[in-house]
Amino acid sequence: MKVLVLGSGAREHALVTGLAADPGVDALYAAPGNPGMAQECEVRSVAMTDPEAVVALARELAVDLVVIGPEAPLVAGVGNALREAGVAVFGPDAAAAELEGSKAFAKEIMEAAGVPTSQSVTATSLAECEEAFDRFGAPHVVKADGLAAGKGVVVTSDRDEALAHARACLAEADRVVIEDFLDGPEVSLFVLCDGTTTVPLAPAQDFKRALNGDEGPNTGGMGAYTPLPWAPEGLVEDVIAQVAQPVVDEMARRGTPFVGLLYCGLALTKNGIEVIEFNARFGDPETQAVLQRLTSPLGTVLHAAATGELAQLPPLEWADKSAVTVVMAAENYPADPATGDVITGIEQANALEDVHVFHAGTSTAEDGELTTSGGRVLSVTALGADLADARARAYEAVGLIRWRGEHHRTDIAQLAEENRITIPQGGSR
């Protein structure tokens, strides 16, 4: 099987690593890729949101499967164009990708499918935002309606900050979503979909805030871990029954079948499972941790989803280990990340047992040195016998990597390791 991965981040690097380990994948390409992916597969240049350009590249390479990593190509209709060209693609059409592309649309689908989620108001003016703030109270949850690369959400008890974000969202679009705050720990569950059938991956938890203790500004994600030793028994089955399958059924009923990865962002509240958000693709940085534990052949799994054959897929197999991912970020991330700083120590980190360093914001300078070129620069992922072991390995690797102004959280998976995560009374079922 020949496979093309679209994207240039750590999520796509993790997909490339997983696909490269599949003996059924005999040719692997990434576009536009990054220096880390270039060490594992052939990298090509492409404008990811140009459907015609992606189709042309897929035809040139004669690939059997295209895996779309980021959200922007999905909403741009790249999946549509590939399917029309007869190329199997892991990723939804533009209409189905609106589950991520529009928070308001996602709420509409959830209501129609009877999926538990927070109360919300789709506001078109600041006055409506203020009314919603009064109705729901603090903390205030303000979400940009469109794509925002994981940073369009503000959760704050500061009304002025919430109003400022709402004002900024309304300046970019004609509506903004205000939600009631959901208590309880968050869970990310990735669900493979082929338009009809759903197959869950292992649940994970990520860390959105920039600083330890979930302080500081919201980011695209500063780390993740899996599995969740504190998760209630039957959680995954409950999410499939209450959330994923009803959504896939509703999308099919509307004539817009969802094919690809449904990312269910959940809160385990006193009222049970409630959906925070959906994404229409693998999450970053959870993917880096989740895929390191998957031992089933990734190419076979993704191709089955792309071709409507998930029902025939054998049960997924997982390593009996924990995985922890720590994101190393550039100076001033997430506000105005510095770039061009020389990175050292990656080879030494990768040489550690059960450690893999995934590239995101990296570039190769003219002199051949590896430099920073984005906000989230690297995702350092380690496997271990348990969370404590995986954390120790990940942070040992992080300690070997250097560049000017680098920063990272030091508490990824710490509360879980110390058994200090609790679910509000009432559980998740």
pLDDT digits (tens, 9 = 90+) for 91-125: 999 999 999 988 889 999 999 999 999 888 889 99
Residue 302 and residue 191 in one domain: yes
Q: What is the CATH number of the domain that holds 32?
A: 3.40.50.20
Residue 284 CB neighbour total at 10 angstroms: 30
- Residue 99 forms part of a structural domain: no
CA distances from 164 to 139, 142, 145, 208 (A): 15, 10, 15, 20
Are residue 190 and residue 174 in the same domain, yes or no? no
Domain boundary pick from 282, 312, 342: 312
Domain interval for residue 277: 184-312
Establish if 428 belongs to a structural domain: no
Q: Is residue 115 part of a domain?
A: no
The answer to the question of residue 308 being in a domain is: yes
Measured CA to CA, the distance from residue 107 to residue 121 in angstroms comes to 10
Statement to judge: residues 216 and 336 lie in one domain: no
**Residue 110 resides in a domain:** no
Mean pLDDT of 71-94: 97
Q: Are residues 289 and 342 in the same domain?
A: no
Say if residue 428's pLDDT is above 60: no
Q: What is the structure's pLDDT at 147?
A: 61
Give the tens place of pLDDT for each residue, 288-320: 999 999 999 999 999 999 999 999 999 999 999
Sheet holding 376-384, edge to edge: 205-206, 223-226, 322-329, 376-384, 355-359
- Please count the structural domains in the chain: 4
**Interatomic CA distance for residues 5 and 67, integer angstroms:** 5
pLDDT of residue 150 exceeding 60? no
Domain end: 134, 159, 179, which one? Answer: 179
Residue 424 maps to a domain: no
Indicate if 131 and 194 belong to the same structural domain: no
Cα-based distances in Å from 42 to 30, 234, 322, 423: 6, 41, 30, 45
Whole-model pTM?
0.91
* CA distance linking residue 5 with residue 34, whole number of Å: 12
Please state the rounded mean pLDDT for residues 354-363: 98
Q: What span, in angstroms and rounded, lies between the C-alpha atoms of 63 and 58?
A: 6
**Which CATH number covers residue 135?**
3.30.1490.20
Structural domain includes residue 317: no
Q: Are residues 33 and 146 in the same domain?
A: no
Domain at 280, CATH number: 3.30.470.20
Task: Give the rounded distance of the alpha carbon of 207 from its chain centre.
Answer: 11
**Residue 425: inside a domain, yes or no?**
no
